[in-house]
């Protein structure tokens, strides 16, 4: 039985019979993983869909990001400038790659890394900038590119939230050296678990794909301390089927966003706007509860919960609050005023195509009725 609870998202799913037909073929083929037929087909299709020149498929976004941080040959223990306003996988990946994250504050409109505050954090040990396109809002890719050229830094983007987004008509994965995408079930387009890397430099392909397969170069040669980042055939099948339907979901979410936008024009509630040159992925619907609103963000969450609606404080806590990082990093909270402000005010509302009219009306009523 399905619960009546309403959560922040719901995964898209193909027609069950379409999926089981595909499963039958996988059973007949006897190949379940290790760069099978469906894996290769999906990898190629995603390169086109994301409008990028190279694309490598992974079993999740985290292994993809760890691979990105390893193949760029950043000096061991060098510093990567990033923001704590992200999912822990971003920061974990830096540390697990033997590098040190340096936290930069965010920009209040996009909630992405504040490019104007990056230069102050650069020192002799800085080797890279890792920007997160939070909720699909784009980092200031132009400014970051300028800084990276000036200081000879690599640029990696965590694009987990921005599947199919375009900046100035170009796939968002064309910016920086490497962009990671996640295809986890909570993401707009998913392969149950999955992820990938987009990159411009053709020379990276062999290295990335070798790293993805334990670093095994050939029968007799293991060249890198790689990992197991291979996507299996059943996930690839889910991806191929979801590629056919994700745009319908995006369209439904666009209409839901328009509904929320119209009905949440309320004093004290700020709805962050996508910059004009960027297309929305429709991954999340975040709002900012400012001081002029009569209730705190946490009180709203309680009110919604009493009606079985589970909005999320995403990202609260931020990564500058977690013990696993506090133990090993020097974190200067005074450098992070916007992160520490936004994390207490942000609220992500339920955002998926199947959200019922009743539910969306109820959510807006709860927010209006104060
Ligand atoms: C989902 C997500 C990841 C991790 O991706 P997985 O595929 O779950 O490993 C990394 N960064 C951000 C911002 C995410 O939202």
Could you tell me if residue 6 is inside a domain? no
How many Å lie between the centroid of ligand 1 and the Cα of residue 173? 16
Burial class (CB in 10 A: 0-12, 13-18, 19+), 46: buried
Domain identity same for 269 and 310? yes
- On whether residue 121 sits in a domain, the answer given is yes
The reply to whether 28 and 155 lie within a common domain is yes
Which position has the token pair 């996009």? 110
Q: What is the CA(194)–ligand 1 centre distance, in A? A: 10
- Kindly state the helix (H) or strand (E) to which residue 182 belongs, with its residue range: strand 178-182
Distance 63 CA to ligand 1 centre (A): 10
pLDDT for 1: 47
At residue 280, φ and ψ (nearest 5 deg) are -80, 140
Give the bridge partners for 154, in sequence order: 128
- Is 150 found in the same domain as 125? yes
Within a domain: 63:
yes
Q: Check: CB of residue 271 under 8 Å from CB of residue 261.
A: yes
211, 227, 243 - which closes a domain: 243
Residue pair 112/133 in contact (Cβ under 8 Å)? The answer is yes
Q: How many helices (H) and strands (E) does the chain have?
A: 12, 14
Q: Are residue 119 and residue 182 in the same domain, yes or no?
A: yes
H-run or E-run covering 142: helix 141-151
Contact by Cβ (8 Å): 75, 154: no
How would residue 3 be classed by pLDDT, with cut points 50, 70 and 90? low
**Same domain, yes or no, for 137 and 232?**
yes
Q: Report the alpha-carbon distance of residue 347 to residue 364 in Å, rounded.
A: 13
Q: What is residue 4's predicted lDDT score, i.e. its pLDDT?
A: 86
Closest listed residue to residue 155, CA positions, set 120, 122, 179, 188: 179
Q: Which of 9, 59, 60, 61 to mutate to test the pocket of ligand 1 (most atoms within 8 A of CB)?
A: 61
Please say which residue of 213, 243, 273 terminates a domain.
243
Pair (60, 127) in one structural domain: yes
Q: Are residues 237 and 364 in the same domain?
A: no
Whole-number average pLDDT of the chain: 97
| pLDDT for res 299 | 97
**What is the pLDDT at residue 370?**
86
Last residue of a domain, one of 199, 222, 243: 243
| Residue 4 falls inside a structural domain | no
Q: How confident is the model at residue 2 (pLDDT cuts 50, 70, 90)?
A: low
- Which conformational region is residue 89 in: left (phi greater than 0), alpha (psi within -120 to 50 degrees), or beta? alpha
Task: Find all residues with CB under 8 Å of 82, minimum gap 6, and list them.
Answer: 90, 91, 94, 101, 102, 103, 104, 113, 129, 130, 131, 132
260 and 137 in one domain?
no
User: From ligand 1's centre to the CA of 89, what distance in Å?
Assistant: 6
Pocket of ligand 1 (CB under 6 A): 60-62, 86-87, 89-90, 132, 158, 160-161, 182, 184, 195
Percent of the chain with pLDDT over 70: 99
- 198 — phi, psi (to 5°)? -110, 140
Note whether 204 and 256 are same-domain residues: no
Pick the residue whose CA is nearest to atom 15 on ligand 1. 160
In a domain, 182, yes or no: yes
Q: Beginning with the edge strand found earlier in the chain, give each strand of the sheet holding 286-289 in spatial order.
A: 269-270, 286-289, 346-348
- Centre of ligand 1 to C-alpha 170, Å, is 22
What's the rounded Cα separation, in Å, for the pair 232 and 307?
39
Same domain (yes/no): 236, 262: no
Count of structural domains, the chain = 2
Q: Please give the Cα distance from 286 to 350 (Å, whole number).
A: 9
Nearest to 50 by CA among 246, 284, 288, 337: 246
Q: Which of 9, 180, 182, 283 for a ligand 1 pocket mutation test, highest count of atoms within 8 Å of Cβ?
A: 182
Beta-carbon contacts of 194 under 8 Å, excluding residues fewer than 6 positions away, are 57, 58, 59, 60, 61, 182, 183, 184, 231, 235, 239
pLDDT per position as a tens digit, 37-61 = 999 999 999 999 999 999 999 999 9
The H-or-E segment that residue 234 falls in is helix 233-243
- Residues 67-96: pLDDT tens digits? 999 999 999 999 999 999 999 999 999 999
For a pLDDT cut of 90, what percent of the chain falls above it? 99
Residue 62 φ then ψ, to 5°: -70, -45
Query: Do 242 and 46 contact (CB within 8 A), yes or no?
Result: no
Q: Cα of 265 to ligand 1 centre, how many Å?
A: 31
* Strand 166-167 relative to strand 170-171, pairing: antiparallel
Q: Which domain holds residue 43?
A: 16-105+112-243
- Looking at the fold, whether 288 and 354 belong to one and the same domain comes out as yes
- The DSSP line for 55-68 is EEEESSHHHHHHHH
Residue 365 pLDDT > 60 = yes
pTM of the predicted model as reported, rounded to 2 decimal places: 0.97
Q: Do 216 and 304 share a structural domain?
A: no
């Amino acid at each position: 039985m399905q619960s009546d609870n309403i959560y922040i998202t719901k995964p898209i799913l193909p027609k069950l019979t379409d999926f089981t037909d595909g499963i039958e073929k996988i059973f007949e083929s006897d190949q379940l993983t290790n760069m099978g037929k469906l894996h290769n087909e999906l990898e190629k299709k995603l390169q086109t869909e994301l409008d990028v020149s190279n694309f490598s498929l992974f079993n999740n976004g985290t292994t993809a990001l760890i691979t990105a941080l390893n193949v760029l040959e950043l000096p061991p223990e060098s510093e990567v400038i990033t923001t704590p306003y992200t999912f822990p996988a971003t920061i974990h990946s830096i540390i697990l790659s033997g590098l040190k994250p340096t936290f930069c504050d965010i920009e209040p409109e996009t909630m992405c890394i504040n490019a104007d505050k990056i230069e102050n954090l650069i020192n002799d040990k800085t080797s890279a900038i890792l920007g997160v396109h939070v909720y699909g809002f784009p980092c200031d890719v132009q400014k970051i590119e300028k800084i990276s050229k000036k200081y000879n830094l690599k640029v990696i983007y965590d694009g987990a939230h921005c599947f199919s987004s375009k900046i100035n008509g170009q796939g968002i994965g064309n910016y920086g050296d490497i962009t990671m995408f996640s295809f986890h079930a909570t993401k707009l387009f998913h392969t149950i678990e999955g992820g990938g890397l987009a990159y411009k430099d053709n020379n990276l392909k062999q290295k990335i794909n070798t790293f993805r397969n334990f670093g095994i170069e050939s029968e007799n040669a293991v060249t890198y301390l790689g990992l197991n980042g291979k996507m299996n055939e059943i996930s690839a099948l889910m991806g191929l089927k979801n590629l056919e339907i994700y745009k319908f979901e995006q369209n439904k979410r666009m209409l839901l966003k328009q509904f929320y936008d119209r009905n949440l024009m309320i004093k004290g509630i700020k709805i962050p706007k996508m910059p004009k040159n960027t297309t929305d992925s429709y991954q999340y619907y975040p709002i900012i509860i400012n001081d002029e609103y009569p209730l705190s963000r946490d009180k709203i969450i309680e009110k919604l919960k009493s009606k079985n609606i589970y909005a999320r404080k995403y990202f609260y806590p931020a990564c500058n609050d977690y013990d696993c990082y506090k133990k090993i990093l020097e974190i200067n909270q005074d450098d992070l005023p916007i992160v520490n402000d936004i994390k207490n005010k942000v609220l992500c509302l339920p955002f998926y195509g199947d959200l019922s009219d009743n539910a969306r009306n109820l959510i807006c009523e709860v927010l209006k009725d104060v």
